[in-house]
Amino acid sequence: MASYTSAGGLRIVPPYYRQCATTVKERWRNRLLLDVLTTEFREFSEDQHLQRIKNNQITVQRRIKQQTLQLRQDQLLSERLKQGDVIMRRVHVHEPPIVDAEIETVYEDEEVLVVNKPAGVPIHPVQKFYYNTMSAIRNKQVRKVYVARVAGDFPESAVCNDDVVIVETKRGPRDGIDRKSATTEFKRLKYSSVLDESIVECRPLTGRTHQIRIHLRNMGFPIVNDQLYRHGILATNEDYSDPDVFERIAKEAESSRKEQLTDQFCKECDKQLFKAPDPAKLVLYLHAREYYHEENKWAYVTEYPEWTKI
């Protein structure tokens, strides 16, 4: 675990350096490094990439006859990339802050680690969340039952078979749509007529990214505080493969990203810095409450979160 500081309900990891190795992709072959960096690693401008090459923050490892050569500086400006080359980048990593909360270990043995994860703590080890992510649950054999707090009077029980469509606006309309079949079973546990909100048990039979959030949105019962699928740019279920829709969403995503930026830049790496998020907006009323082995070798149940008391 990296060191972190706590401030204003957030857990903040100070920026740190990491060496990133990327093997040259087919479409990068026979191109100049600077050209590839400028088109594929867009967090920096061409000038900044050039500066980074000159400072040895970017090098290329090339294997020639059992030997690995390190290409650097001026060599990199004239040499074209080849199959098998590895681009090494020294990257200043700025992790997004997460909610500051205790992580309770529910169960641990050689095979499995079960933790009661506070909302807003990412659980999948995405590169971006290198240190802030807890050790992975060995997902393959672990099934989970979730509890969610949703808007509206949810039916007593329901099943949703909608395809889960993930939109990644940065990847463009051709590659930015990922559609997968999915099934979730739902059961209403409680309804509050005062709030017009329901507590719902969710059993995903497939494990797609954002599956429960998307299914609940599609059914018209979004998670109460979902900043993406209720209050955000993906609040309505539209045909995202329609180029016009995709373009509109991409524009909205870009402008909401810009709203998050400050006018300050990192002194180390020159990246534009993000505002501290509102901790309340990082919390999502969706919680994995039960974990069980798919062959029923074991099961673990955690407490209902406070927000289920409606």
Q: Which residues bind Zn ion (CB under 5 A)?
A: 15, 92, 266, 268-269
Q: How far is the CB of 34 from Zn ion (least distance, A)?
A: 21
239 burial class (0-12, 13-18, 19+ CB within 10 angstroms)? exposed
137, 113 Cβ separation under 8 angstroms: yes
Nearer to Zn ion by C-beta: 56 or 157? Answer: 56
User: For residue 82, with 0-12 CB atoms within 10 Å meaning exposed, 13-18 middle and 19 or more buried, which class applies?
Assistant: middle
Would you say 252 or 270 has its CB closer to Zn ion?
A: 270
The residue among 20 and 299 lying less far from Zn ion, judged by its C-beta, is: 20
Distance, CA of 81 to CA of 35 (rounded, Å): 10
Measured from the CB atom, the residue of 148 and 269 that comes closer to Zn ion is 269
Distance CA 68, CA 90 (A): 19
Q: How far is the CB of 44 from Zn ion (least distance, A)?
A: 11
Q: How far apart are CA 274 and CA 252, in angstroms?
A: 17
Q: Considering the complex, what minimum distance in angstroms separates the CB of residue 268 from Zn ion?
A: 4
User: Which 3 state secondary structure label does DSSP give 181?
Assistant: coil
Q: Which residue number, 69 or 266, has a Cβ lying nearer to Zn ion?
A: 266
- Angstrom distances, CA of residue 4 to CA of 23, 92, 100, 150, 278: 31, 16, 10, 33, 18
User: Considering the complex, what minimum distance in angstroms separates the CB of residue 264 from Zn ion?
Assistant: 11
Q: Which is nearer to Zn ion, 18 or 180 (CB)?
A: 18
Give the whole-angstrom CA distance, residue 118 versus residue 163. 28
Task: Tell me how far, at minimum, the Cβ of 16 lies from Zn ion, in Å.
Answer: 9
> What are the CA-CA distances from residue 277 to residues 216, 229, 261 (Å)?
25, 18, 10
Strand, helix or coil for residue 15: coil
Q: How far is the CB of 271 from Zn ion (least distance, A)?
A: 5
Question: Shortest gap between Cβ of 42 and Zn ion (angstroms)?
Answer: 16
Q: Pick the closest to residue 199 from 150, 146, 156, 160 (CA basis).
A: 150
CA–CA separation, 125 and 114 (whole Å) = 15
Nearer to Zn ion, 42 or 171 (CB): 42
**Residue-wise DSSP of 195-223:** TTEEEEEEEESS--TTHHHHHHHHHT--B
**Choice between 43 and 278, CB closer to Zn ion:** 43
Minimum distance from CB of 265 to Zn ion (Å)? 8
